[in-house]
Structure 1
Amino acid sequence: MGHLITVATCSLNQWALDFGGNLERILESIRIAKAKGAKLRVGPELEISGYGCYDHYLESDTYLHSWEVLAEILKSEEAKDMILDIGMPIMHKTVKYNCRVILCNGKIVLIRPKIFLANDGNYRELRFFTPWLPKKVEKHYLPRMIQTITGQFTVPFGDTVVSTLDTCIGCETCEELFTPQSPHISMGLDGVEIFTNSSGSHHELRKLDTRIDLMKAATAKVGGIYLYANQQGCDGDRLYYDGCAMIVMNGDIIAQGSQFSLHDVEVVTATVDLEDVRSFRSRSASRGVQASHSEAYERQDVGFSLSHPHTDADIGIIPDKPRAPFYHTPEEEIALGPACWMWDYLRRSKTAGYFLPLSGGIDSCATATIVASMCRLVVKEAAAGNKQVIEDARRLAGGEDENYIPTDPAQFANQIFYTCYMGTSNSSDETRQRAKRLAEVIGSYHTDLNMDTVVSSIHGLFSLVTGKTPQYRIHGGSNTENLALQNIQARLRMLLAYLFAQLMPWCRSKEGGLLVLGSANVDESLRGYLTKYDCSSADINPIGAISKTDLKRFIAYARDEFKMEILDEFLDATPTAELEPITEDYVQSDEVDMGMSYSELSQYGRLRKVERCGPFSMFYKLIHEWGQHLRPTEVAAKVKRFFFYYSINRHKMTTITPSYHAEGYSPDDNRFDLRPFLYNASWKWQFSRIDRAAENMENSKDPGAASRSS
């Protein structure tokens, strides 16, 4: 006879330091898990405090309040007749650890500290926590508030596992799944049948498949049931944690939660048969040999069973079957991820909405379309009866209507989304009309202005003070004059954006101010093709880590999915800043100004950050990719041009608007990309080495010759 168990994992929209809100979401997830018949519930990493506390983990308050929340959980009805895997920071012998706390029937079974800490990319866990040693176990002396509740003075603290009456449970935490020698390997060899993984894993385009592949590979190799829980939503930073809680068994997905959701609590359950794990493991004799030689884990015995009772009614309990994984396309990820992040940011910031300078170009168009996607999600969730979404939408857009429920995305957008076309004499009627028509389709509260008088007054002031009158390049001015005249317009747009963001709700007799949206894409930021403190300086930027190539694909997707035919006009338009005068012979072009294409910028970005290439190694990589249609000296010139402009503009990243993190080559300074902002932009040694290699290649007609000779 089988041993059927129902297990639960979840995605929670926790918020850093929101201890009260985090507690309620944890309790709600337990209530839902119980209602579905689960006896084991797993939650996200550091769910009590919220993952994104950063340097607040260095404060004793964070640990005190985390224990206070755990005390409330231990006293609750929800903690009874259940094994709970809860995440929180804990100080053990005056050292700080990222921990899992395993509870059963109102008592603490063990505290399991994280062994391998995430300390690259967006993560700095070694700044806050200390890694624990594998299989080391000590006593932890509980705070008096916990002793009073549980009657326990000490509990096991370390890398140990839980033995119930019918199975064995072991913990992994986030990064430990990604390490070469993951704990689930040794735990599986020692008989652990259920692995819990509590994560704080952020969304990045095309990243979900990595997680799924690792979980499938882990259980296909050692057998077992893998419960993956993840943080969800905006935790208080530019990261969006994309949920997608999962249950995987013996290499197959059994249950998968949503990746992007406006639900604060999402619980995923499955009924599985422990005998399937045992049968799966017994097929391999070599596994048995390795298991017999493996070092045993210390076990914490719990007189509790996860199995459904063996009765005649068992015939009605059916194990869940394997299913294929579900993936969103990158275009859908752009439509959903930033939209969910923006909704969290808006409702938690207590502001009245968003303001966007709408230029008529594809970048601001993409930003506006993401806001439209957000409005669509809100209306959809409201129609489904999501009480939290209705409450937040009512506060934002309902005014005095206590029964307001958003039913139309355009109507909702009109209440919370403001756009403005800020034109000058250099602006074209085409971009002005495109912006107006897009605003009409989305439903934003749109204004249109010319700022020539403001620009002229700045010109006049400079001429009055200096006696000099700068001219555009097309009128005979130098590059210095031309750039300065462009920057005046760009920076004035930032000033006007904040003025309008503060006062437009007031003009409509509404309370509060607006958050200003930026719309510079990741490639322009990487190249530095933006003015410091111009309209790219904003409160948040939904597209700041998305490439131009992906944005175009997103716009094509949204055109069809959202039935927005106006987006075709943006796809066909030439990208232009419209900061120089337009003549019969000249229209400013972004790619001409930059001296490189957007597709080239994407390649430079990935090589520089993801593949960790300096100038010379980037040159060699691109020789193999571009060598069929470019001479080595031409490739060399492109690489040197990129690194020169990247270097002289790197300082702009110190003030870049916080952007939704979506791409592995985001240049966010001091957040994701830790590189200098003052460079020797000549790169004399490196560029000389590239030049020698390129000349050798051309002289030998053999691209590999230079590397062999060096």
Structure 2
Amino acid sequence: MQNGFIKTAAIAPEIRVADPVFNREQMVEQMTKAAAKGAKLIVFPELCLSGYTCGDLFLQEKLLTEGEEQLRILVDASRDVDALVFAGTTWQENGKLYNVMAAFCHGELLGVIPKIHLPNYGEFYEHRHFTPGNRQVVDVEFVDLDGNSSWIPFGTDILFQCETMKSLVVGAEVCEDLWAPQPPSIRHALAGATVVVNGSASNEVVGKSAYRRNLVVGQSARLFCGYVYATSGPGESTTDVVFSGQNLIAENGTLVAEAKRFRNGITYGVLDVEKLVAERRRNTSFGPMENEGYELVEFSLDVEETVLGKVSPSPFVPADGKEQTERLEEILSIQSTGLRKRLEHTRCRYAVIGISGGLDSTLALLVTARAFDSLGLPREGISAVTMPCFGTTDRTYQNACVMSKAVGATLREIPIRESVRSHFKDIGQEESVHDVTYENAQARERTQVLMDVANQLGGLVVGTGDLSELALGWATYNGDHMSMYGVNGGVPKTLVRHLVRYSAETCGDSALQKALLDVLDTPVSPELLPPEEGKISQKTEDLVGPYELHDFFLYYVLRYGFSPEKIYRLAKAAFMGVYEDAVILHWMKNFYRRFFSQQFKRSCLPDGPKVGAVALSPRGDWRMPSDACSRIWLDEVEAL
């Protein structure tokens, strides 16, 4: 439960229809097992104590009274279980029978949530036996196993808040309620619920599993919530229908876990309620808060460290397979469409790119070629300018030339050594002193050349810098920091690699493919220091740290605003066996230091397209003062 994580369990236990004693025994066993595995929120299916398919047996007094007794035993069995549990059962009140979810924790019944929308179609005739619930919360009497009487809330508008993790607020709905035009979960979320549970008995027919999955995942997305869906398994009657036990756990539009169908069992999933709160905080269309008429019931759980599942080390990179291919193609389309609009608006038929043979300029060249193709412009209008200087190696130079020719751009070589030396002479800089002036003079000279060439052609300079470099400030102010349109400004370095590799695999040109693959194998470098024995001497990741770590930090800092402590915990899980904890901490400190100190470069960025959920444009996603203090973040890193 630390850092907002909570392990949940959706359970489809083995049951026997109309045998509450057997069903309770199975539920106690599974509940205890799930809690022992660290689950703090446990959900059972609809009418699990009796079985959903009892039919007119629901009108038998014996079944109902036995169900009441077994509920008392089940609640009592939770005394030593550190979890909030929801179980489907029947409930009699004022001569009416209700289909409810009973919520209990540590041996105490906390509340009863009745089903509102009762199906009365196909093989389901719930109106024959049950009365619909309503929103109004009333107090009803419950007599526990020891004979003690207490009054508990009964109604749909009940939320359960954890005293030891205030961001964990749980609401409940029952099966068909989710299928209705206005599910109770909408109100629950607007009233503050960060997690919604659903005890269901949804039968299986061809095609329904996909619909059910989409429904649960979609509801979690529109409500920015976690959704735990537990449904009946094969133990229900198969007189007319079959139940599959397709338990589902979703978080804000992402399927966290899904059970294999047609079997009983427990499905586990870890939810991050802090992430959900952060999403709601960012999205001002969520709300306003509407909790009138709701009753808030508090419960308490032990604060323990939740064992995290798999954490992706590359949060910016889509999963492998068809989804990744589609996403990479979409990103390239976004980049090229942005540039296309700028070229159209400025009536430019020429684009100028500084081509170095590195990853970023390679991607910019590929994107520009796409933009020209979409406009019907000849690719000869792309002026690919290589500007060799003190740090240029033959490897990157040759790759730059091959790629430029392969895409059909006009290759132009403009050496800048003598221009930089003249500048050194003007300012009194010794060429033998390889300091920041030595490096930045080259970067600024290259930018000046590109701007002037663009003026000659009546074109625009396409920027090559990526999102990771902007985050770290790894750009020369008014050097490679500046352009007329930055196509890579929304693409982090880890994603640049995948886009270039995808282009290599799909380009259909052997010479271009060979050059692109070699670019991928070339160390990332600005090549501003003289090479050693013809090889790159200045490796960016040796200086600022591994980009895969910085991109990981960047994603969680910008996307969710997580604290350093939480990001460190996630990073340890994601990079286990790759980086030692001390290494992660070292580069995390460097990330925060650079991120804050280099904001002034981001405050005056050229235009460029946003491609994902994270961006650093000062006009859009990230508005930060250039002189903000990093103290509280660095203090927390130091304390880890």
**TM-score tier after normalising by the smaller chain length:** 0.3 to 0.5
Structure (1 or 2) with the greater helix fraction:
1
TM-score (norm 2): 0.48
